[in-house]
Structure 1
Amino acid sequence: AAVLYGYYTGADLHAKVTKGVQASIVQTALLYEKAGVKGDNLKALQDSMHQAGAPIVTIYPALLTVTLGVVACLNLIVLSRIAARVRLPVYLGDFKKYRNPEPLIWLLIAAGFGLLVPENLVYLASLNVMIVICTMYAVQGFAVITHYFRKLAVPAFVRVIAWLLLIFQPFMVLVVAVLGIFDLWGDFRTPKKQENL
């Protein structure tokens, strides 16, 4: 959508995002300077903000897509709660059964190969696609975890602690995404049939 918008309006979205990030860094640095941070400390702070801003400029399409997806999911959650409270016949599905379409794995593989292409535009597109797809598989991984939380009747306070650890630890989110990917083959939520001996 961002590419189409830029194409039809002639706007350089990448330049606008870069300019916006740089302006935010300058404003933040001014606030710290007014707060009394000066000299080498201010310079180190500015350098760290520039280092943090560079990845944002690179992956902003993926960040925007994921953010919109999260907002949509929150809206669905609110809708389901309201529907249940007023007894409306609205069924949005059971999250613990959530599963991505199987062909999505091929798009993930293609994006992985795209990262190896020595062309900046292909690399950036592949990186953003990979982030979005990995997020979708992380959602599937969370669905698998939700399934086992309910199956094992895990206490609510343990669930809250586990969710906080999983969501706010980047490495753990990556592990959950891998769990979602392997669920494609492992099918962890389908009861295994016992073979008769």
Structure 2
Amino acid sequence: MVNQEQTGPELTQILQTLAISCLVIILPGIYWSMFGWTHMLLPLLSFYILSRFGEHTGKRFLVTAGILSGVVLLLLNHFDLIIFSAILMLGGGVLFSAAKKKNSPALSGLKACATLGLSWIVVIAAYSIISGGSPYADLLASIDSTINETIQYYRQSDEVSAESLVMVEQLLLQVQAVVPLVMPSILGGVIITLTWFTMVVGNNLLLRHHDKAPWLPYAMWQLPERLIWMGIIFGACVIIPIHLPRAVGINGLFLLSIVYCFQGLAVVVFYLNKWKVPVLLKAFFYVMLVLQSFGTVILLFLGVTDIWFDYRRIKRNKAITP
């Protein structure tokens, strides 16, 4: 395979890459309700371009696309989307840097999640200082208002029986009380899921189309054994009858559950590939695992117990192979 960093990409490749990059950044500013989801592809876009064309050429692509798209978004009066796009692309750049240093998938993902999380905290803090309001508080207030409106709607509805109304009210009031407590882990879960998606899809694209990938296939990924101690610490915090440690423990356990579910999914992918299950049946099985609550419990169980049972015999093979 010819080294793209040395020869440089062709003109057609340059134009295609710039066009795709600009579209992914600009489209949400034109019609957010339809194209807002494309911003979730920005970490994958920056990671893939840097890995595909090399650091020097890849940065030139991303900077050029960023400048062109930034001008268009400024004309559309969407300065906030420029910051949003820059942070997401930075996450992909951190993944590329970690992969270049030959960091493990776990460490690479941790670096990207920490970068995205800290960047958002800095942006929200700066916005709060400048504007005098907090987007995080506005989000909680919006959810609280929506729940109150829903309760009022059911109270005024003649189609809902008294027993059903009591059950619905109790459920919504419980949600209203829990949401402020777990909102940090919900937002953190979005960051973890986005990072996982970028790593898995980016690694697979590079492996399939360019015969190179920074990490082993996803089916062979494994979390560090010591991570389970974090779960034990967070579990102990939940027991403490003080609000702050308990809130930290609950949110920490929620985030760890997501991470271990992804490890459980890697175990499932390993055996589906090993047994050569057809693609359509695989897709159906994945959808059922994600949509069914019991499927999530299975993934979590597999992810945690893989530490001790080593379902894929990764540790055993490492011990045998010098």
TM-score (norm 2): 0.49
The 8 Å contact of residues 204 and 213 in structure 2, kept in 1 or not, is answered as no
- State the match for 1:41 in structure 2: 160
CA positional deviation for 1:82: 5.0
Q: Structure 1 residue 183 and structure 2 residue 306: aligned?
A: yes
Matched, 1:22 2:141: no
Offset from partner CA, 1:46-93 (integer Å, 9 cap, x none): 654343343322211111111112122333344345545763744343
Residue 61 (str. 1) matches residue 165 (str. 2) = no
Q: Which has the higher helix share?
A: 2
Residues 89 and 96 (structure 1 numbering): CA distance in 2 closer, same or farther, change over 3 Å?
closer
Match of 2:281 in 1: 158
Change (3 A) 1:187 1:109: same
Aligned partner (choices 228, 237, 242) of residue 114 of structure 1 = 237
Greater mean alpha carbon deviation, residues 122-131 or residues 163-172: 163-172
Q: Deviations over 1:3-41 (max 9, x none)?
A: x768896877875443121123345568x68xxx72473
Aligned-residue sequence identity (percent) comes to 20
Instruction: Indicate the residue corresponding to 1:125 in structure 2.
Output: 248
> Using the alignment, how far apart are the partners of 2:225 and 2:200 within structure 1?
25
Distance in 2 between the 1:127 and 1:160 partners? 32
Aligned pair count reads: 188
Q: Retained in 2: the 8 A contact 1:25–1:46?
A: no
> Structure 1 residues 100, 80: closer, same or farther in 2, change over 3 A?
closer
Matched, 1:149 2:272: yes
**Cα distance change, pair 77–28 in 1 and its aligned pair in 2 (3 A):** farther
CA contact (8 A) 2:185 2:251 kept: yes
Please tell me the root mean square deviation across aligned C-alpha atoms, in Å. Answer: 3.3
Alpha-carbon offset, residue 163 of structure 1: 1.1
Is 1:14–1:57's contact at 8 Å kept on the other side of the alignment?
no
The structure whose RCO (Cα within 8 Å, separation 6+) is larger is 1
**Are the equivalent residues in 2 in contact too, given 1:62–1:128 (CA < 8 A)?**
yes
Q: Distance in 1 between matches of 2:311 and 2:295?
A: 19
How do 1:167-182 residues align onto structure 2 when only pairs under 5 Å count?
A: 167-182=290-305
Find the structure with the greater CA-based Rg: 2
The DSSP-based 3-state class of the residue aligned with 2:177 is: helix
Q: Which shifted more, 144-153 or 53-62?
A: 53-62
Indicate the larger mover: 100-109 or 88-97.
88-97
> Does the 8 Å CA contact 1:29/1:42 hold for their aligned counterparts?
no
Deviation at 1:162, TM superposition (A): 1.5
Deviations 1:119-146 (A, max 9, x none): 1111111000001111111111110111
1:83–1:90 contact (8 Å) kept in structure 2: yes
